[in-house]
Structure 1
Amino acid sequence: MTPENPADTPTDPPVRTDFGEGVARLTLNNPRRKNAISLEMAALIDDFCVRVETDPGIGAVVVAAAGAYFCSGADTRDLASSSADPASPEAVRRTSAVYGAFVRVGMLPVPTISRVVGGAVGAGLNLALATDLMAITPETRLESGFLARGIHPGGGHLSLLGRAVGWSNTIAMAACGLALTGTEAVTRGLAHLAVPESELDARIAELTAPAAADPELTRRVMTSARLELGPPAVSWSSALEIERGVQMWSMSRKGEGSWSSRGPGR
């Protein structure tokens, strides 16, 4: 007898990965639990990041999720186990594994885009915020969620929110329980774009195509961006020096003969 939902069978991995045409795609595949991040999923995310870091042919990453909800946070079964003795080495190991998964995503050497539908809360919002761009639907709901569960934010949650939306919005979400729709998230700078789900993949493809076409250059741009923008950001004069050598490298690679009379790059 065939299961109603193949994604829920034990043989289907809780994280799916795909690599092709310069784009690496990671899909959370635990829809029965709203893609809550388990320790097994965290380990698979780490493996995915190692592949991206070591494969120079990858120029962009997309983080998506199966089902109708992006990510409901850390698996509550692990949270319950950790709550029994929060200071124990085992509890620290569990939380560190989940935190490490989205930190690795946030430090990848290529542009990362999260495809967020349904909602993201707690560590799930951390994962979305760890990506460089968030592509979302207008009705998707973004929540800090830690306050509602009676626990302090973790995983650098306040820092991730703060760098995206500033002090006031961070406090509103993390300390006062404000939830944002996708439309509101774009208005406040938390998400890059909000379109109907039927349009998300096409818009994401438009963003990844240039990066995937020249992964070597893209990776150098991202290295400079992380050095210059931080946090903390560097001064303009420091940014000039960071970019100088890399731009000279790119011009040397391009070569004199590739500049046409119609203008640079044509």
Structure 2
Amino acid sequence: MSTIKTEVRDGVCWLRLNRPERRNAWTAECGAAMTEALLRAEADPETRCVVVTGEGGAFCAGVDLRDGFERTPDGAPDLKGMHRRHFVPTILGLRTLPLPVITAVNGPAVGFGASLAMAGDFLVMAESATLRLAFVSLGLNPDSGGTHLLPRAVGRQRATEIAMLGEPVTAAKAVDWGIAHRAVPDACLEDAVAELAGRLAAGPTKAYAAIKRAFNSGEHPSLTEQLELEGELVHALATTADFQEGVGAFLERRPARFTGA
């Protein structure tokens, strides 16, 4: 079974994260499948807009920690390598795709899932959905573009609150703070997204591509530079006792006891 379900209709390519039994938690396989799907969408002359959403009751629960970590030659968690191989291509793919992208958040978007949601050009949320930059609960900094996209949407103070406290952001607050385009009743999410996607698919896609390129060029530091820095930071934090404690607490379903070491 594919980890990404693809359907093209009426000029819109729907990409659905397809691990509902794991709340669409992200894996290396998901990253490879999403990168391939985005390349196909860009090459398909019938595709004029892309929608990313989740199957089941969640958008994306973040990285699947139960898969474990790839390791460096010295045995340490290779978070920088994993970030570069499995997360960065998707985020850059969405941001540089010369087509409008809608992220339709149908349920919780946690950790990487929150960064993924913010990487779209339009973020539409079900009213019950939430965004949560939960990296801090593992003793990590946000990655996958979270430290680049969030402060630009909400300002430094609110971004600091979201990142350091790690609390869920409701759909209503996400709209109020400028993270999301709009929130709609849960039962109306797909119809509302389809309506917006149809409008975009009928529009001047070359102009949309130029707008995205110009906005990306105007951001300093660039998203590419920030993704590299994020990878270096999470890699360094992977050697800390707090990271080991955070992962252990998550897997054992208990509160973490951080010591600052």
TM-score range, shorter chain: 0.7 to 0.9
Given residue 223 of structure 1, which amino acid in structure 2 is its aligned partner? Answer: A
Q: CA deviation at 1:178?
A: 3.5
**1:211 matched to which residue of 2?**
200
Residue of structure 1 aligned with 2:214, choices 224, 228, 235: 228
Given residue 226 of structure 1, which amino acid in structure 2 is its aligned partner? Answer: K
Gaps of 5+ in 2: 221-261
**1:106 matched to which residue of 2?**
95
* Cα deviation code 1:129-159 (max 9, x no counterpart): 1111111122212111000111122222110
- Match of 2:93, SS state, is helix
State how far apart, in whole Å, the 1-side matches of 2:201 and 2:64 are: 33
2:53 aligned with 1:64, yes or no? yes
**1:248 matched to which residue of 2?**
none
State how far apart, in whole Å, the 2-side matches of 1:133 and 1:104 are: 15
Gaps of 5+ in 1: 1-11, 235-266
Output aligned runs, 1:3-22, within 5 Å: 12-22=1-11
**1:168 matched to which residue of 2?**
157
Residue of structure 2 aligned with 1:85, choices 71, 76, 82: 76
**So what's the TM-score if we normalise by structure 1?**
0.76
**So what's the TM-score if we normalise by structure 2?**
0.77
CA RMSD of aligned residues (A): 2.0
CA contact (8 A) 1:82 1:94 kept: no
Output aligned runs, 1:1-266, within 5 Å: 12-78=1-67, 80-82=69-71, 84-87=75-78, 91-96=79-84, 97-214=86-203, 217-218=204-205, 220-230=206-216, 232=218
Q: CA deviation at 1:193?
A: 0.9
- Give the paired residue count: 217
CA contact (8 A) 1:74 1:98 kept: no
CA contact (8 A) 1:78 1:94 kept: no
State how far apart, in whole Å, the 1-side matches of 2:66 and 2:217 are: 33
State how far apart, in whole Å, the 1-side matches of 2:209 and 2:102 are: 17
The answer to which structure, 1 or 2, has the higher relative contact order (CA under 8 A, 6+ apart) is 2
State how far apart, in whole Å, the 1-side matches of 2:179 and 2:152 are: 9
State how far apart, in whole Å, the 1-side matches of 2:83 and 2:28 are: 9
Identity %: 32
CA contact (8 A) 1:139 1:183 kept: no
Q: CA deviation at 1:78?
A: 4.5
